[in-house]
Amino acid sequence: MFENYLDKIKRYFWFSKTELNGFLLTTFVFAFIYSFNKWGAVSFDAKTGISNLIIGIFLCGSGLFVHHAGQRLMALKLGVKAEHKVWWPGLIIALVLAVLSYGKITVYAASAVFITLLPQHRLGGHRYMENVGSLAKTALAGPVLNIILGSTAIILNQLGVLPDSVSTPIFMFNLYFAAWNLIPIPPLDGSRIIYYSRLVYVFLVSSLIGYIALIALFSVYSYIWALLIGVICWFLFLYFFEMKANE
């Protein structure tokens, strides 16, 4: 079983030429947005700006890759293949808002995941064709991996492995990127999840918001408390909306 999974990774994991071009373009635009207001504190400084742009390329590129990698690995586990495309409206809007606001408004929502069936790897599987469940699980893997990457950077900082100057930007970008992609606007990841299950979506988003709130208000990095907040919101949504709607 594991050897079969490794074989699928070897065959289908890597980006096509079109996907790679989209990935590089999105990375550069995100890095430009990230560094837009970091070209000198008082006056324009090309050296400082280029340095921050390069940092942005590594920061945004790693976050995007982890996001896409998580989705591709999940898709292959489900017997489907993930394909990533640039969401041009999101990319253009993000760029325009960054320019108009002088870098104060940063939007990181410009990619979409689609799945196609791998027939030879779905034989005997539940619901042979690709479905909303497979798409939702594939989409969810991206934000989850981003949150894990960001949290890992904080853990390494607390262990003295990474300095604040490295761990904080990694954490903030990945958390911010995950949050933007969970917005339920097609074709972002959030739209894939909410179409599959509103309850699952409420649990995920409230857990993420709870996680951010715990950090912002109490400097507490806790998955357990964040998940507890998600469970509470899940029950509240179930009682006040789902059950009431069925009465």
Model pLDDT for residues 185-234, shown as the tens digit of each residue: 999 999 999 999 999 999 999 999 999 999 988 888 899 999 999 999 99
Residues 101 and 67 in one domain: yes
CA atoms within 13 A on the CB side of 25: 17
Distance CA 34, CA 62 (A): 14
Distance CA 4, CA 180 (A): 34
Residues 56 and 164 in one domain: yes
In this structure, are residues 201 and 190 in contact, taking their beta carbons and an 8 Å threshold?
Answer: yes
pLDDT number for residue 1: 73
Residues 66 and 107 in one domain: yes
Residues 102 and 79 in one domain: yes
pLDDT band, residue 117 (cuts 50/70/90): confident
Q: String of b and e for 104-126 (b: at least 16 CB within 10 Å)?
A: eebbbbbbbbbbeebeebbeeee
pLDDT number for residue 203: 96
Residues 202 and 185 in one domain: no
Residue 42 pLDDT exceeds 80:
no
What pLDDT, in 10s, does the model give residues 98-112? 999 999 999 999 999
pLDDT number for residue 34: 95
Number of alpha helices (DSSP H) and beta strands (DSSP E) in the chain: 10, 2
What pLDDT, in 10s, does the model give residues 7-41? 889 989 999 999 999 999 999 999 999 999 888 76
Residues 115 and 46 in one domain: yes
- Judged on CB neighbours under 10 Å (0-12, 13-18, 19+), 41 is exposed
Mean pLDDT across the chain: 91
Residues 162 and 213 in one domain: no
Q: String of b and e for 172-183 (b: at least 16 CB within 10 Å)?
A: ebbbbbbbbbbe
DSSP secondary structure letter of residue 116: E
In this structure, are residues 106 and 60 in contact, taking their beta carbons and an 8 Å threshold?
Answer: no
pLDDT number for residue 64: 97
Residues 171 and 60 in one domain: yes
Q: Please give the tally of structural domains in the chain.
A: 2
Residues 7 and 29 in one domain: yes
Domain boundary among 177, 194, 211: 194
pLDDT number for residue 44: 78
Distance CA 247, CA 232 (A): 22
Residues 13 and 62 in one domain: yes
Please give the residue range of the domain that contains residue 239.
Answer: 197-247
Token look-up 């604040």 returns 164
pTM for the whole thing?
A: 0.91
Residues 47 and 169 in one domain: yes
pLDDT number for residue 153: 96
Residues 135 and 205 in one domain: no
Residues 6+ apart with CB under 8 A from 52: 34, 35, 38, 39
Distance CA 211, CA 204 (A): 11
